Structure 1
Amino acid sequence: MTLVIRELEHIDTRVLGALRCVDAGTRAAVDLPLQVRIDGARVRRNRSGLYVITQADLLAAHEGAFEAPPAAPAIGSVALSATLADPSGGYLPRIATLALPRDPAADRAAEADSLFRPIEVAMYPASTAPLGANWAVLRISLRESASGDALGGALFIVRSGLRVLARGLSDWRGEALVPVPGVPVTTWSDEDDAVVASETAAQLQIVFDPAAGLRLPAAAVRAGRAPAALPQVDPERLEAERDDLPNATLDLQLAAGRSQSLSLALALP
């Protein structure tokens, strides 16, 4: 007897990388289906909730190379821009810059740029997002100091000493919710007459890029007229370039379970 095997279809797919979206405050995976688009690339969401990059125009030579990926372009030398949005409105839209190709070496799978590790992208909560018990919470309204325009797409960084406690973004109204999980109910005090304290000293830094962010007149905000395009910024780029962009720093005291409302103004050139 002769056994005849016919191959009816043969499909090979090379994965170029994957995105794992996490909550900016808790670092927990965002299970909600998001809209993820990458210029010049194809993305699909898998059953694990990862957004897998299956094709990219600038990496066409990689698509059919399985055993030995091309040496060029060099690892991490191609920057792709991804836009992420939450149709449910729980998270603000943002931009992420992805460095491809990823390192395909199996013996370096633990490295940050490995193909076997998804690229982690933080999603920032909208002002109506749910909050956890005993979180310190900052509700911020940001305006341009001279005109009163609302500033959308501003980055807020909360630090205690050298440690970053939280980050947040402002929406088109200039409103931001910055949850700060993990603030202790009590901590050691620096005061001579107290052993413990219920507050944690922190600094809030504001960073805004006039070229990327959104300025909206206060009258439009009061009327509830949302712009045709919502602000979309790359928070990692803003933080990396914060010293060269308009910024300001404010000292504050955080406490577990305390919600603070701050109305702030930032001077722009």
Structure 2
Amino acid sequence: MTQLLHAREVERVERRVLGALRCVDATTGAPLEQSLRVEAPAGARIQRNRSGLLVIHEWLPLAHHARAFASPPDDVPVGSLALMLTVSDPLGHYLPRLVRVDLPRDANPANADQPGSVFRPLNVPMYPSATGRVGANWACVSVSVFELGSGDALGGVLLRVVAAGAVRALGLSDWRGEALVPVAGIPVTTWSTEPGDVVVTQIQAELQAVVDPASVVRTPQAVLQLGRAPAALPLVDPAAIEAARAGLPQASVLVNLAAGRPLHVSLGVDLP
């Protein structure tokens, strides 16, 4: 007769999750290990797991999904419901932002490599605050965004750095209209595309400001000088602004970027 020595009973718990978020540094793409605050509507339960993912365990409109483990119900089409979350950094290194999660996610294992799969976490870029940490060889663009005419500082503006037709960096402005847009990967020297110099130490890029009038926060200069933050801080979904960019007010300016060199730009935007 076989005896089991030092055996212990293991309880197995199985449940269905609705999805997960992976918060990453917008400049490097590295996952953030620090604790972030997530605010969700009533009826949603989100917890951080040991891998640092923010796991969506429950949401009231999909309560019946959590109870169906073997196969997900098919009464709600994939991605037909939008769960809006607020992610913020208690330490203030990153700006708060909105995140839209389209649910339910695709639970078909055959589609596990697709962006909308429940088996793939949704990457959420977190954008640095104006006092955020930067790398030694990054080109750091500090931007002051204001409204032409009134001079009001504009918070919640999406900043884009575009070079050679590709987006090199993104950033957001805070309530003071200040933004830090670090650009990593700028070579110390590179081949020149213009006649004359063989190599150059900087590249030309276009700095773009995109404003959603429905969500932008305007702070008059008189209030700005008092240094008191407004009750409602800017809170935008950068992905939504990017998707609607073609129809939104914009302003742009050409800049020269060099590794390890800071640059400050004031950019005015004409708003309706």
Instruction: Establish whether residue 195 from structure 1 lines up as the match of residue 198 from structure 2.
Output: yes
Partner of 2:65: 62
Contact kept? 2:251, 2:268, Cα under 8 Å: no
Tell me how far 1:76 sits from its aligned partner: 1.2
Distance 2:92 2:82 in 1: 27
- Residue 13 of structure 1 deviates from its aligned partner by 2.5
Secondary structure at 1:116 match in 2: coil
Aligned residue for 1:249?
252
1:90 to 88, 93, 112: 93
Look up the match of 1:27.
Answer: 29
> C-alpha displacement at 1:12, in angstroms?
4.1
1:117 aligns with 2:92: no
Please give the alpha-carbon distance, in whole angstroms, between the structure 2 residues aligned to 1:240 and 1:116.
Answer: 25
Superposed CA deviations along residues 28-54 of structure 1, whole A, max 9, x for unmatched, are 111111111222411011111110000
Task: Show structure 1 runs of 4+ deviating over 6 A.
Answer: none
> Deviation digits for residues 98-148 of structure 1, max 9, x if unmatched?
111111122221111111110100000001111101100101111111111
The one-letter code sitting in structure 1 at the alignment partner of 2:256 is Q
* 1:20 counterpart SS class: strand
- One-letter identity of the residue aligned with 2:261: R
Match of 2:49 among 26, 46, 54: 46
CA distance in 2, matches of 1:229, 1:14: 36
Q: Does 1:182 align with 2:185?
A: yes
Amino acid of the residue matched to residue 183 of structure 2? V
Q: Does 1:149 align with 2:162?
A: no
Matched, 1:234 2:237: yes
Aligned-pair identity in percent equals 53
Cα contact 2:159–2:172 (8 A) shared by 1? yes
The amino acid of 1:34's aligned partner reads: L
Q: Distance in 1 between matches of 2:26 and 2:12?
A: 41
Q: How much has 1:187 moved relative to structure 2?
A: 1.4
Amino acid at match of 2:195: D
TM-score, structure 2 length as denominator?
Answer: 0.93
Quick one: distance in 2 between partners of 1:31 and 1:227? Answer: 29
Hey, what's the Cα distance between the residues in 2 that align with 1:156 and 1:219? 24
For the residues of structure 2 that align with 1:162 and 1:172, how far apart are their CA atoms? 30
Unaligned regions of 5+ residues in structure 1, if any? 1-6
Report if aligned partners of 2:15, 2:69 keep a CA contact under 8 Å in 1: no
Measure the CA separation in 2 of the matches of 1:162 and 1:66.
46
- On the 8 A contact 2:107/2:119 being kept in 1, the answer is yes
The CA RMSD over aligned residues, in Å, is 1.4
User: How many residue pairs are counted as aligned between the two chains?
Assistant: 262
Deviations along 1:73-108, one digit per CA (max 9) or x if unpaired, are: 111111111101111111000001111111112222
Secondary structure, counterpart of 2:267 in structure 1: strand
User: Counterpart in 1 of 2:4?
Assistant: none
Gaps of 5+ in 2: 1-8
Instruction: Determine the C-alpha separation between the residues in 2 that align with 1:179 and 1:212.
Output: 24
Give the whole-Å Cα distance in 1 for the aligned partners of 2:31 and 2:19. 17
Give me the TM-score of the superposition, normalised by structure 1: 0.94
Distance in 1 (alpha carbons) for counterparts of 2:154 and 2:40: 26
Please say if residues 14 and 69 of structure 2, whose CA atoms lie closer than 8 Å, have aligned partners that are also in contact: no
Aligned letter for 2:15? T
1:196 to partner: Cα distance: 1.5
Match of 2:103 among 96, 100, 103: 100
SS at match of 1:258: coil
Distance apart, 1:72 and its partner CA: 2.2
